[in-house]
């Protein structure tokens, strides 16, 4: 659990548990057998409680360890299921469990919401715990369900009213703790299902709801600053300039290895918008100093030339089209006129080429779909398909064993997400979406390292 969030949730729990504690002191000061007491969140009028119930309550609230206190509260609720102060006692139970048991905290929060569906403390813990559970879920549908559940509690929490008996100051403290948690949950749920507009709105409200220093901390809102940049990148069409700003802000404050991992994405967004890297340092400086871009940010960076301008420039400056980099050839095949695409294709069709460190997107023994261009690698989208050359039929047992060993090695090297070196012959292409098909595909296996032999020194 992030340190800042943990501290916030414990503060939320402390506010929740302080209300029944105040009750315990008030109740204990009354000498009568049927004692009038005042609760913090549940009732504005005194409540009559017998000595036996009061003793059970005070016993629960006076326990000095969280497990003992939780057990005593559970015993109190079992003995007095219709207690007039059941809601406040359940809030205290939820707060107690929150210090050491997430599953029991969630169960207690469910019980609180059965009595008070808009209880801010319970909605905060439900939001945080459901969102946290999604992190370990691998099934996409189940993951989205957990995120949507968190977002549902968050939406309720944002409009939860102040309890009549709670002070304005305590309610404001709860809201300050809960608000960024709520917006983070809404943003994560939306981004996971590609609702980038909702995600952007939620993440920006989250960042605005906390002290600026908290947005710069990996234990605070810095991770969601990255997700905000990602939401801009995944928008349709992508908002590349805002992507560059928020990704750069993340890079400015992120520790390693995250700084190095995200830095290429920040610069990619800028270069994709502007066409080159000049001026990027100014964006990084502004992003480090400001939570959001300046009002004139969109007009301060010149957009890149159009695809037609770029391609015409390439043809003008490149006498031999065969010398173009793979990215440039692909760009022309995808965005050029039919005549321009044909001229580039004629320089490579039927020719063999080797491609080092390509990213495997889909893998089978007969075909590999890989990402080669910078755009394809960035989006993890295949732009090349290699039709693999079938292996020769082994004729001996030794050859069969060797073939199996090689096939196993190739399967390992070409697992999805791996980087591998391939060779193939340019066969055909489709421009939209770009897909270049290579025939006679082969995996270039790493060269075996020769063993080092040490000669023993003879004694004379």
Show Cβ contacts of residue 26 under 8 Å, excluding neighbours closer than 6 positions: 37, 38
**Is the per-residue pLDDT at 254 higher than 60?**
yes
Residues 298-318, mean pLDDT to the nearest whole number: 92
Residues 194-201, mean pLDDT to the nearest whole number: 98
* pLDDT of the residue at 23: 34
**Is the per-residue pLDDT at 45 higher than 70?**
no
Burial of 458 (0-12, 13-18, 19+ CB in 10 A): exposed
Domain coordinates in residue numbering, the chain: 1-189, 194-298, 305-348, 350-392+404-443
Considering only CA atoms, which of 443, 450, 452 is closest in space to residue 422? Answer: 443
Taken in order 306, 312, 317, 323, is the CA torsion positive or negative?
A: positive
Q: Is the pTM of this model over 0.75?
A: no
Token reading at 69 = 């206190």
Residues above pLDDT 70, as percent of the chain: 87
CATH 2.40.50 fits 350-392+404-443, yes or no: yes
Q: What is the pLDDT of residues 381-418, one digit of tens each?
A: 999 999 999 988 888 999 999 999 999 999 999 999 99
**Is the per-residue pLDDT at 157 higher than 50?**
yes
Position 447 confidence tier, pLDDT thresholds 50, 70, 90? confident
Q: How many helices (H) and strands (E) does the chain have?
A: 19, 7
CA-CA distances (angstroms) from residue 291 to 139, 247, 250, 279, 384?
34, 12, 10, 19, 40
Determine which of 224-228, 289-293, 307-311 has the lowest per-residue pLDDT on average. Answer: 307-311
Position 306 confidence tier, pLDDT thresholds 50, 70, 90? confident
Classify domain 1-189 at the CATH class level: mainly alpha
Across the strands, what pairs with 424? 353
Residues 253-257, mean pLDDT to the nearest whole number: 97
Residues 110-115, mean pLDDT to the nearest whole number: 98
Residues 109-113, mean pLDDT to the nearest whole number: 98
């Amino acid at each position: 659990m992030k340190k800042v969030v943990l501290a916030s949730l414990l503060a939320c729990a402390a506010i929740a548990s302080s209300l029944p504690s105040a009750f315990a002191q008030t109740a204990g000061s009354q000498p009568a057998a049927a004692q009038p007491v005042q609760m913090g969140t549940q009732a504005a009028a005194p409540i009559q409680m017998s000595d036996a119930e009061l003793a059970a309550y005070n016993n629960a609230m006076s326990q000095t360890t969280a497990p003992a206190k939780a057990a005593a509260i559970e015993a109190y609720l079992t003995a007095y299921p219709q207690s007039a102060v059941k809601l406040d006692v359940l809030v205290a139970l939820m707060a107690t469990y929150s210090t050491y048991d997430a599953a029991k905290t969630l169960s207690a929060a469910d019980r609180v919401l059965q009595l008070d569906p808009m209880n801010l403390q319970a909605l905060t813990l439900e939001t945080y715990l459901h969102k946290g559970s999604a992190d370990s879920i691998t099934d996409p549908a189940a993951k989205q369900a957990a995120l949507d559940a968190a977002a549902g509690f968050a939406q309720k929490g944002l409009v939860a009213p102040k309890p009549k008996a709670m002070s304005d100051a305590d309610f404001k403290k709860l809201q300050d703790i809960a608000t960024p948690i709520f917006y983070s949950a809404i943003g994560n749920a939306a981004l996971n299902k590609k609702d980038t507009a909702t995600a952007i709105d939620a993440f920006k409200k989250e960042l605005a709801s906390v002290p600026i220093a908290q947005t710069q901390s990996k234990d605070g809102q810095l991770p969601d600053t990255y997700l905000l940049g990602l939401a801009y990148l995944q928008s349709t069409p992508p908002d590349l300039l805002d992507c560059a700003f928020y990704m750069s802000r993340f890079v400015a404050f992120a520790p390693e290895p995250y700084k190095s991992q995200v830095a290429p994405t920040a610069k990619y967004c800028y270069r994709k918008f502007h066409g080159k890297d000049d001026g990027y340092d100014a964006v990084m400086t502004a992003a480090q100093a400001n939570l959001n871009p300046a009002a004139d940010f969109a007009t301060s960076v010149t957009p890149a030339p159009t695809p037609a301008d770029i391609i015409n420039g390439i043809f003008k400056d490149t006498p031999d089209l065969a010398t173009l980099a793979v990215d440039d050839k692909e760009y022309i095949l995808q965005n050029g006129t039919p005549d321009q695409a044909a001229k580039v294709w004629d320089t490579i069709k039927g020719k063999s080429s080797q491609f080092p460190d390509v990213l495997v997107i889909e893998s089978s023994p007969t075909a590999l779909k890989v990402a080669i261009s910078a755009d394809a690698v960035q989006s993890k989208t295949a732009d090349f398909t290699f039709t693999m050359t079938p292996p020769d039929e082994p004729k001996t047992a030794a050859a069969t064993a060797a073939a199996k060993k090689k096939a196993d090695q190739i399967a390992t090297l070409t697992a999805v997400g791996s980087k591998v070196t391939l060779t193939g012959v340019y066969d055909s292409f489709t421009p939209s979406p770009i897909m270049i098909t290579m025939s006679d595909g082969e995996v270039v296996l790493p060269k075996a390292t020769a063993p080092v032999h040490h000669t023993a020194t003879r004694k004379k």
